[in-house]
């Protein structure tokens, strides 16, 4: 079984202007992450992949393309979560059959599900597949919080091997690290890679690594080598960049930055808005400033 630790790009998906998947562009983004960015893995079908706006068939197609392009070059995690549990179960089987190294599922969102319902959801997704599950914990978008005792109940299932922790609460992160030394914790906020690394994460999964991989690698390795002030210099530049990206529209700007490097990263999926001339111009300025 493949070691899941390391740095992952949350894979973007390239779309044509009419919203259909641009397969050529998607393959280019995948290759760029492997060959140029030297990522340890790809997190496929996450928020960054605009997954929650796609049909089941489109989600499957993206899992297929990513596996076909990446082969066994890097670790592949398939995000299969959705509030349609039947769909999640189907996608978990599909990705496992394709040979994905692990699964991940966002906490079920929109309705105020009880913890028992959340637990049932995870147990159902993995019960019939021979694969590992990483909980996708992102309370600022889902509104779903999980306490340490609740994580303990989820982690009692040996197939649930870790969590993608997209949360800025470092007290909770420290408590998680102490409580679950044998589970994998992946940091989900690229802005806070340095402090999360100090607290002993096993890796990180992020959208900005699609373009800012070299700096992310430096932050991660310098921090692990206890060269904190050097790492902080790189985190400062990174956070200037991330602030500029967020200000101009997160996923669209990352795609426009990839386009500057000759990659057909395409558009975002509606209801995300099409690029305006101002947004394109600003992305060019950001590219010149940081790359
Ligand atoms: C919602 C979302 O995209 N979260 C990502 C990972 O969890 C992050 O990589 C952020 O995009 C990034 O840290 C910028 O805020
Ligand atoms: C990590 C992240 O952004 C994702 O879920 O795609």
pLDDT per residue over 179-191, tens digit each? 999 999 999 999 9
Mutation pick for ligand 2 pocket among 12, 79, 207 (CB with most ligand atoms within 8 Å)? 207
pLDDT in tens, 14-47: 999 999 999 999 999 999 999 999 999 999 999 9
Does residue 48 have its Cβ closer than 6 Å to ligand 2? yes
**Cα 235 to ligand 2 centroid, rounded to whole Å:** 19
Q: Are strands 184-187 and 133-137 parallel, antiparallel or unpaired?
A: unpaired
Please give the pLDDT value at position 66. 98
pLDDT in tens, 103-160: 999 999 999 999 999 999 999 999 999 999 999 999 999 999 999 999 999 999 999 9
Please give the pLDDT value at position 133. 98
Name the closest ligand to CA 42.
Answer: 2
Q: What's the ipTM?
A: 0.93
Name the closest ligand to CA 165.
Answer: 1
What is the residue whose two structure tokens read 């990263």?
265
Domain architecture of the chain: domains with CATH: 6-233+263-270 (3.20.20.70)
Closest Cα to atom 1 of ligand 1: 47
**Residue ranges at the known binding site for aceneuramate:** 47-48, 166, 188, 190-191, 207
Q: What is the mean pLDDT of residues 200-216?
A: 98
Q: Which residues, including other chains, have CB under 8 Å from residue 172's CB and lie 6 or more apart?
A: 148
Does residue 207 have its Cβ closer than 6 Å to ligand 1? yes
Q: What is the mean pLDDT of residues 188-217?
A: 98
pTM of the model: 0.98
Average pLDDT for the chain:
98
Please give the pLDDT value at position 200. 98
Q: What is the mean pLDDT of residues 214-223?
A: 98
Please give the pLDDT value at position 128. 96
Q: What is the mean pLDDT of residues 65-76?
A: 98
Give the active site residues: 136, 164
**Cα 269 to ligand 2 centroid, rounded to whole Å:** 16
**Residue ranges at the known binding site:** 47-48, 166, 188, 190-191, 205, 207
pLDDT in tens, 246-285: 999 999 999 999 999 999 999 999 999 999 999 999 999 9
């Amino acid at each position: 079984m493949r070691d899941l630790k390391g740095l992952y790009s949350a894979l973007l998906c390239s779309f044509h202007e009419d919203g259909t998947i641009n397969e050529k562009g998607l393959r280019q983004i995948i290759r760029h992450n492997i060959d140029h960015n030297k990522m340890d893995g790809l997190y496929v079908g996450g928020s960054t992949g605009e997954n929650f706006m796609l049909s089941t068939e489109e989600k499957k197609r993206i899992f297929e393309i990513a596996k076909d392009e990446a082969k066994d070059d890097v670790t592949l995690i398939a995000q299969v979560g959705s509030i349609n549990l039947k769909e999640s179960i189907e996608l978990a089987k599909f990705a496992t059959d394709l040979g994905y190294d692990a699964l991940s599922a966002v906490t079920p969102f929109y309705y105020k599900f009880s913890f028992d319902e959340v637990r049932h959801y995870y147990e159902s997704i993995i019960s019939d597949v021979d694969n590992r599950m990483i909980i996708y914990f992102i309370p600022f978008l889902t509104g779903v919080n999980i306490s340490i005792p609740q994580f303990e109940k989820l982690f009692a299932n040996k197939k649930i091997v870790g969590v993608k922790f997209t949360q800025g609460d470092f007290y909770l992160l420290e408590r998680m690290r102490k409580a679950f030394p044998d589970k994998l914790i992946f940091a989900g906020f690229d802005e806070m890679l340095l402090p999360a690394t100090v607290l002993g994460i096993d890796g990180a999964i992020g959208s900005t690594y699609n373009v800012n991989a070299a700096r992310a690698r430096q932050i991660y390795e310098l921090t692990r080598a206890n060269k904190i002030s050097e790492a902080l210099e790189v985190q400062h530049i990174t956070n200037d960049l991330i602030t500029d990206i967020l200000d101009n529209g997160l996923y669209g700007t990352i795609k426009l930055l990839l386009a500057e490097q000759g990659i057909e990263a395409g558009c975002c999926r509606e209801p995300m808005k099409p690029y305006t001339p101002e947004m394109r111009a600003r992305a060019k300025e950001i590219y010149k400033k940081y790359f």
